[in-house]
Amino acid sequence: MKNDAAKVRAVAAEIVDAVVHGGRSLDLTIVEMEARITSRDRSLLRMLCYGSLRQHWRLQGYVEQLISKPLRKRDRIINCLLAIGLYQLVEMRIPDHAVLSETVEAARLLRRPKLAGLVNACLRRFTRDKLASTEPVGDEARWNHPAWLIEAIRNDWPEDWQAILAANNERAPMWLRVNAARGSVSRYLDRLSELGIEATPMRSIVDAVKLAEPQAVEELPGFADGDVSVQDGAAQIAARWLLHERATEKQADRVLDACAAPGGKSSHLTEIGAGRIALVAVDSDEARLQRVVENLARVGGDATIIAADASNPEEWWDREPFDGILLDAPCSASGVIRRHPDIKLLRRESDLARLAALQAALLTALWGLLAPGGTLLYVTCSVLAKENDDVIAAFLRTHDDASENDVLPNNNIHDLMRRKACGYQVLPGTADLDGFYYAALQKKKVS
């Protein structure tokens, strides 16, 4: 049992090291490595990895105080192990003696026996000197974000930047989307209650349910049958917004979901648009496109699925215009940091210009596929103007046949939205939602 406990810490250190020093995705690395520990320890593994990355800069500040000189490059995994040990001492209800013994043993499992004494001395000094009560030095340690991102958020949201950064460091709740084609939210809440699972609906997002505590999907009633899916409430706004724009038009609209993987929005479109839309889902990543296939199959959705680059429609488009297009554009993902804390370490300020150019290219390419009178809904999970309202404003300046429809699809979501120069923003933490940006563009009809 003791060796199992130490192994969890060792594997967590390897995962965090792969993110911090190897630039790897946290989720993918966990999936690759978690089979090395027992199933009962996997929730602890995730807690250690996610928690230590959320507080990366603060914890590394402590490490720098505790180590007199930097470790050699080949031993930098010990920095990650120390951060995991410190996270347990600061944030978790694990006895100090257990944290020390298991973290020290993890150093040996990581084939660094000569550094086990250093780990022991650092953790003992941390508890003895009560360093957890000291104020972090510098903005990065205080806010647990890189300096460039703090500055970018502060510039774009001068009244809200502190709340955004604080929300990014919180654990995200688990949101569900009830399949409207299979049943009502109220009935699904009854099913959860029968199993002792506490949950609440959200009046402004009609298909959304928030769980009081996360659950394994296999424990959710009807998940395997497609009665419910996991999707953040703010992401659920997209499908109903786009189909609301088409509600008064002819039936069987052609709808495109560009950049569709992993398929959450595609499956939602088929759930609420069954019988009145013909959906085409495009994505350039064939491996992730398989998840679109699986998600649609589970909820009983139907779509034409194409592996292709959405920005090069001449390679895949059949020349039949679309009545509605959902462009969930690649972005910095700065609005979903609380769900993916590795974003803070993997993104660079230099990424923003590249992403903005890609977003503009996608908009321009897909606009030519939209029928006159049709709607393109531009969506990102970013809070940064360079990827959001700046992109839309530049597009509108160069396309005389485009205009923004700034009327929200329903008044219930009004309180969730911040009006931007163009489009609307949901800020992270608002009603416990992730951060998403929306802009509805309409193509003028030919007179």
Binned at pLDDT 50, 70 and 90, residue 274 comes out as confident
* Active-site annotation holds for 422: no
CATH topology of domain 2-141: N-utilizing Substance Protein B Homolog; Chain A (1.10.940)
Q: What superfamily would CATH give domain 237-443?
A: Vaccinia Virus protein VP39 (3.40.50.150)
Q: How far apart are CA 300 and CA 41, in angstroms?
A: 34
Q: How confident is the model at residue 135 (pLDDT cuts 50, 70, 90)?
A: confident
- Contacts for 428 with CB less than 8 Å, ≥ 6 apart: 164, 167, 168, 335, 336, 337, 338, 383, 434, 435
67-124 per-position pLDDT tens digit: 988 899 999 999 999 999 999 999 998 999 999 999 999 999 999 999 999 999 999 9
Task: From the candidates 80, 122, 331, 381, give the one annotated as an active-site residue.
Answer: 381
| CATH code 3.30.70.1170 region(s) in the chain | 175-230
pLDDT of residue 410: 81
Q: Write out the residue limits of the CATH 1.10.940.10 domain(s) in the chain.
A: 2-141
Chain centroid to Cα 369, Å, comes to 29
Q: Is the pLDDT of residue 2 over 80?
A: no
d(CA 170, CA 435) in angstroms, rounded, equals 13
Enter the tokens of residue 110: 């990581």
Helix residue ranges per DSSP H, 67-219: 77-91, 96-109, 116-128, 139-143, 147-156, 161-168, 185-194
pLDDT digits (tens, 9 = 90+) for 149-179: 999 999 999 999 999 999 999 999 999 999 9
Domain with residues 175-230, CATH architecture: 2-Layer Sandwich (3.30)
- State the span(s) of the chain assigned CATH 3.40.50.150: 237-443
The mean of the pLDDT values for the chain is 95
